[in-house]
Amino acid sequence: MNTAIDTSVIVIFSIFIMLVGFSFSRTGRNLKSFFAAGEAVPWFIGGLSLFMSFFSAGTFVAWGSIAYKYGWVAVTIQWTMCIGGLVTGLYLAPKWKATGNLTAAEFIRERLGLTVQRSYIYIFMIVSLLIKGSVLYSVARLVSSSLGFPLMPSTVVLGLFMIAYTAVGGLWAVMVTDILQFVILTAAVLLIIPLAFDAAGGVDRFLHFSPEGFFSVVNGEYTWGFIFAFALYHIFYIGGNWTFVQRYTSVDTPKSASKVAFLFAGLYIISPVLWMLPPMLYKLINPSLIGLDTENAYLMVCRHVLPAGLMGLILTGMYFSTSASANTALNVVSAVFTNDIYKGNINPGASDKKLMLVARLSSWFFGLGMIGIALIVPYIGGIVEFTLSIGAITGGPLLAPPIWALFSKRLNGKATLFITVVSLSVNLLFKVILPFTSDTRLSRADEMLIGVGLPFLMLLAYEIYARMAGKTSEEYAHLQVVKAARKISMQAPDPEEAAAIAQQNIFGLKVISFSLAFIALLLYILCFFAAGSAALVGTIATVVMLLALIPLRASLKKPHHTVHPVKN
């Protein structure tokens, strides 16, 4: 009975999400509206979307496993993401918005040259497909094992859902999905926490009978050195990852871009505590999990305490939050291909209609590639770890130089390629080659420090050398000419375009409001199956219904301004 109700919830909500994506099918007039939502996304929506784009099933599986084994250190690790968000909000997000570029790849071409851009694009697309393909496999496995569905059909169906609403609806469809998942997962966790405390014997028993060191800020292999290195990594990752840069460029002003990152940082102060309490409480309920079984701690505590239907709700939330991060990557890969390869190199004179066709077709092409990678994961041992290693290997070398170029007048294309190639090679040596050839392995902290620290030190060394030599890069001088021309061209925005962008954003807010009301209605229906938890479920449903009024009121306000010229 419970499985049937959970399955029904997943099917109903998945169809609803698909319809939400299709509702945006007519809102993409051109590349700016499709990939950057007209550069007029409300900052609070951009911030929530950034937060959910950072999310995946790994939040529950990986961090949940650490929380079960080591306790509070899982919260400490995630607080490093808050540090990354704060630094990004103060220094990086407004800089990205001020460039006037649609994608990070476009900025790299204008600031560091075409050769650097092409090299980065191909690496970025390959890495994104590998990592997100593995992510899709992980969540398909999660859903199939929880509900007893075959793995391969689950992978294909979930993957097609993911592609369809990204390819049809563009950035607005992705962001609306992000908001819905934020509400669903928050509602689910707020249900789980009191029920898990009750199952564990209350707050006093949790505080006094947990294992020794369970509430220590650092624990086990997660030392202060690791925390410092991880914080440094997240400054580069949150501030320079191409998928996140899109959130800073799709709002109206540099100040709004800062607010996007600050909201992300604020949410990462509170959310790790809420997310990690359930697996920590499960340690008291069932302390016998060992090895890889600890990765199931989150699902086990959900099964243990949640009434019928709500397990389906949290599984849906886990899937769509994971797919949200994959969708963001898919949207950006498609944006980079359409804007920087097709428009930039293959067909510079393409019409908006032609570019939109390429944008949607490339979303399907790259999405099917992700599904293909996900399907071969079961037949290739260790590909998940391998792709995660690729992310760690390429993170610092690919993200640090463009961020440095936002501030530096001296960094040029040649130096960027040299630093990228050398740091990539060193990372490959220590993280892939030496462990296989001589069984030499670095600690987690040392791996992270080398991965991020080496490109940073090389960039600093080149900056000092170029300053002493009195050099300014030719690419930087060229960029100033391009920015001056762009500033002139953006002084008089097209009134028709401005009106269309305003209408698109009003429509997006109304869809969010309607979707929140739908979630509240679904929760009200689940009250009938929640037995002793009905009052709690009903209370949360009422809160969600009240939240639906916020975007509705925002959609009814007349916009004071819709398009802003880029400030330099």
Write down the domain spans for the chain. Answer: 3-397+497-556
Whether the model clears a pTM of 0.85, i.e. scores above it, the answer is: no
Q: In this predicted structure, what is the pLDDT of residue 565?
A: 46
Q: Which of 243-252, 402-411, 443-452, 537-546 has the lowest mean pLDDT?
A: 443-452
Q: Please state the rounded mean pLDDT for residues 174-196.
A: 80
Is the pLDDT reported for residue 92 higher than 70? yes
Q: Please state the rounded mean pLDDT for residues 13-42.
A: 62
CA–CA distance, 98 with 109 (Å, rounded to integer): 16
How does residue 391 score in pLDDT terms, banded at 50, 70 and 90?
A: low
Q: In this predicted structure, what is the pLDDT of residue 490?
A: 59
Number of Cβ within 10 Å of residue 161's Cβ equals 18
Is the pLDDT reported for residue 32 higher than 70? no
In CATH terms, the superfamily for domain 3-397+497-556 is Sodium/glucose cotransporter (1.20.1730.10)
Is the pLDDT reported for residue 114 higher than 80? yes
Longest dimension (CA), the chain: 75
Digit-coded pLDDT (tens) for 423-456: 988 888 887 788 777 777 777 677 777 888 899 9
> Whose CA is closest to 475, among 483, 467, 486, 465?
483
Ranges 120-134, 405-419, 466-480, most confident: 405-419
Q: Please state the rounded mean pLDDT for residues 409-420.
A: 93
Q: In this predicted structure, what is the pLDDT of residue 289?
A: 85
Ranges 314-318, 474-478, 494-498, most confident: 474-478
Is the pLDDT reported for residue 68 higher than 70? yes
CA–CA distance, 283 with 294 (Å, rounded to integer): 10
Residues of the chain above pLDDT 90, percent: 20
Ranges 21-35, 157-171, 439-453, most confident: 439-453
Digit-coded pLDDT (tens) for 256-273: 999 999 999 999 999 899
Is the pLDDT reported for residue 85 higher than 80? yes
What average pLDDT does the chain have? 80
Q: In this predicted structure, what is the pLDDT of residue 106?
A: 84
How does residue 23 score in pLDDT terms, banded at 50, 70 and 90?
A: confident
Long-range CB contacts (within 8 A, 24+) of 336-340: 336/103, 336/105, 336/121, 336/124, 336/125, 336/242, 337/125, 337/362, 337/366, 338/31, 338/35, 338/362, 339/31, 339/35, 339/102, 339/103, 339/105, 339/106, 340/103, 340/105, 340/106, 340/109, 340/117, 340/121
Q: In this predicted structure, what is the pLDDT of residue 545?
A: 92
Q: Please state the rounded mean pLDDT for residues 252-259.
A: 91
Q: Please state the rounded mean pLDDT for residues 481-487.
A: 79
Digit-coded pLDDT (tens) for 115-146: 898 888 888 777 777 777 777 777 777 677 66
Q: In this predicted structure, what is the pLDDT of residue 383?
A: 46
Q: In this predicted structure, what is the pLDDT of residue 387?
A: 54
Burial readout 440-461 (b: 16 or more C-beta within 10 A, e: otherwise)? eeeeebebbbbbbbbbbebbee
Digit-coded pLDDT (tens) for 323-337: 666 666 666 677 777
Higher pLDDT, 226 or 202: 202
Digit-coded pLDDT (tens) for 494-525: 666 667 667 777 877 888 888 889 889 988 98
CA–CA distance, 358 with 428 (Å, rounded to integer): 35
Q: In this predicted structure, what is the pLDDT of residue 362?
A: 81
Is the pLDDT reported for residue 470 higher than 80? yes
Higher pLDDT, 491 or 485: 485
Q: In this predicted structure, what is the pLDDT of residue 489?
A: 64
Q: In this predicted structure, what is the pLDDT of residue 323?
A: 65
DSSP conformational letter for 148 = T
CA–CA distance, 262 with 269 (Å, rounded to integer): 11
Q: In this predicted structure, what is the pLDDT of residue 344?
A: 72
Are 115 and 415 spatial neighbours (Cβ–Cβ below 8 Å)?
no
